[in-house]
Structure 1
Amino acid sequence: MTFAAHWKFSLLFTFLCLISSGCSNTPGDQPDLGTVTGTVTMDEKPLAGVMVVFSPESGRSSMGTTDDAGKYELIYVGDTKGAKIGTHTISITTVQNDNSEEEGGAGAAPFKETVPAKYNTKSTLTEEVKAGENVFDFQLTSK
């Protein structure tokens, strides 16, 4: 291999290494995460269609929506599952569907929260997310 060919090959290899190091599936500033799953019930019955939000002391929140069985799995961002490791305040709230066009537009009834404020706007729920798998079940009461 001539000096010029060797130099071109080295330059190409260096360029490809630099490009590939910047193309990962997770951001370089993403914190360590733990996976979080669980079940939400209200008065001992599965609570479907509610948003479960874990908010850390600082940084991005994680959220998930319960299915018909009341089960949820938190998403950190995009397709990345989990929540930041550390202490979180939990908020559980009814998912607001945007049916304003179907319900008559601007004259539609205002959104009604079906989960008591003690679990969302006035929440005192907290959990500690650790590395690995975390399962947090929430047994809510309507009173």
Structure 2
Amino acid sequence: MLRNLNAFTLLLCVCINSVGCGGGGGDAPKTVPATGTITVDGRPMGKLSVAFMPTQGKVATGETDSEGRFTLMTNTPGDGAVVGTYSVSVAPILEVQEAMPGMDGYKKPGPPPFAKKFTDHKKSGLTATVDADPAKNDFKFELTSK
């Protein structure tokens, strides 16, 4: 399970890095604002990473706050997502460990506080369609712990 979570985190980092830091030049895709809320068993949950994975194109990502709210970004913080359909995954944001594996002080991350399937966009069952009208782009995802 840790291997899958680490693989997802690595994939998410690669996707975010592929966005680049060029300031959204002329070739950046047009985005529309998109937000949402994630709850687990009815309770909002913070410190979660959300990834909207398109069939092609750039990934949109966000991070939940203590109220479970997130704002997506594709090119620059808060710019939203490209219009289209996405499969969605959610993963806990791992706290930085003070020591490396095998060293004193290392703590193995525990399982996510929800069903493992939600960490894989192909298995999560979560989908979203980003509309050209930003008013239609407030997504609600209810995850379960089992």
Fold shared by both chains (TM-score > 0.5): yes
Query: More strand by proportion, 1 or 2?
Result: 1
- Identify unmatched segments of 5+ residues in structure 2: 1-21
CA distance in 1: counterparts of 2:77 and 2:50, whole angstroms? 17
Match status 1:116 vs 2:94:
no
In percent, how many aligned pairs have the same letter? 33
CA drift of 1:130 comes to 1.0
Q: TM-score, normalised by structure 1?
A: 0.73
CA drift of 1:81 comes to 1.3
Pair member with larger Rg: 1
CA RMSD of aligned residues (A): 1.9
For residue 105 of structure 1, the aligned residue among 97, 100, 103 is 100
Match status 1:52 vs 2:46:
no
CA distance in 2: counterparts of 1:73 and 1:89, whole angstroms? 16
Q: TM-score, normalised by structure 2?
A: 0.72
Residues 63 and 74 in structure 1, CA contact (< 8 A), matched pair in contact too: yes
Q: How many aligned residue pairs are there?
A: 117
What per-residue deviation string (whole Å, max 9, x for no partner) do you get for residues 8-54 of structure 1?
xxxxxxxxxxxxxxxx9532222222211111100111111101111
Give the 3-state SS of the residue equivalent to 1:92 in structure 2.
strand
Q: Paired residue for 1:138? A: 141
- Identify unmatched segments of 5+ residues in structure 1: 1-23
Q: Paired residue for 2:128? A: 127
Q: Paired residue for 1:70? A: 68
CA drift of 1:80 comes to 5.2
CA drift of 1:109 comes to 2.7
Residues 33 and 72 in structure 2, CA contact (< 8 A), matched pair in contact too: yes
